[in-house]
Amino acid sequence: MEPLRLQKWLARCGCGSRRACEQLIAQGRVAVNGAPATLGMKVDPARDAITVDGKPVNPPQQAYVYLMLHKPRGYVTTRKDPHAPRTVMELLEGVPVPVFPIGRLDADSEGLLLFTNDGAFANRLMHPRYKLPKTYRVWVQGVPSDRALQRLREGVPLEDGMTAPAQVRRIRSEDGQTLLEIVLYEGRKRQIRRMCQAVGHPVRRLVRIAIGELRLPRDLKPGQWRMLTDEELQLLQSCPSGK
């Protein structure tokens, strides 16, 4: 086997997406032949001993799996966190092989969350250049004006820069709240919550209902998971290489 970048090999072995594997290396949790690994280094898996948290890393012997979870509120999207009361991994009882989440939803958010042990697949879905749309149903406080909605569509200045243009439409208003549908083509931390706060309408509830053309099934209840069908997997694998 030709030498290849360490983070690519870790992702291939099911340690997470390539970005997550880069974080493992940066955190000092990866070693090559007993020495701390560095970002960008190349390895020969046939010759080098690679460990994460002291445990050997080996290529997966099982087939790749792809599944969806209807994430309920109150669960942190991480494989393990000693400070988190509950993680999404606790909801995956019965999954036959170790998997990791593709992207994340914050603890207060709900909806469609994908998991796999295929690092290359996860990296494709998460890479910014593919601009894979993600659709959310968002209940906000108050009734946003047309100007507020236009600001969300055009971009909102946040502390980490201007947001990219988004699709936003009002569905209905009732009891002092408004239901919006928002489609994003980027994925910053708590982005929708910060955008809506910036235009004066804090989020009361947020549910991701679609990733690309893949929609959250109506019959998948909060806390439930199931494997993706071949047709659903094809929807994700055929996502365009740009918006």
Taking the domains of the chain in order of start, what are their residue ranges?
A: 4-56, 66-128+214-237, 133-211
| Residue 233 one-letter amino acid | L
Residue 82 to residue 65: CA distance in whole angstroms: 26
Q: Are 87 and 78 in contact (CB under 8 A)?
A: yes
- Tell me the pTM: 0.76
Please tell me the predicted confidence (pLDDT) of residue 217.
97
Residue 219 to residue 54: CA distance in whole angstroms: 41
Please tell me the predicted confidence (pLDDT) of residue 241.
46
Strand-strand pairing, 100-102 and 110-116? antiparallel
Residue 61 to residue 8: CA distance in whole angstroms: 17
Total residue count of the chain as it appears in this document? 243
Structural class in CATH, domain 66-128+214-237:
alpha beta
Residue 38 to residue 43: CA distance in whole angstroms: 11
pLDDT (average), residues 153-178? 96
Strand-strand pairing, 203-211 and 110-116? parallel
Let me know if 146 is a catalytic residue: no
Residue 89 to residue 32: CA distance in whole angstroms: 28
The answer to whether domain 66-128+214-237 and domain 133-211 are alike in fold is yes
Fold of 133-211: Alpha-Beta Plaits (3.30.70)
Residue 8 to residue 21: CA distance in whole angstroms: 8
Average confidence score pLDDT of the chain: 90
Please tell me the predicted confidence (pLDDT) of residue 128.
73
Which one is catalytic: 106, 108, 146, 230?
A: 106
* 81 vs 114, higher pLDDT: 114
Q: Which helix (H) or strand (E) holds 234?
A: helix 230-237
Helix (H, G, I), strand (E, B) or coil at 235: helix
Torsion sign over Cα 100, 69, 82, 62 = negative
Homologous superfamily (CATH) for 4-56: RNA-binding S4 domain (3.10.290.10)
Residue 240 to residue 185: CA distance in whole angstroms: 12
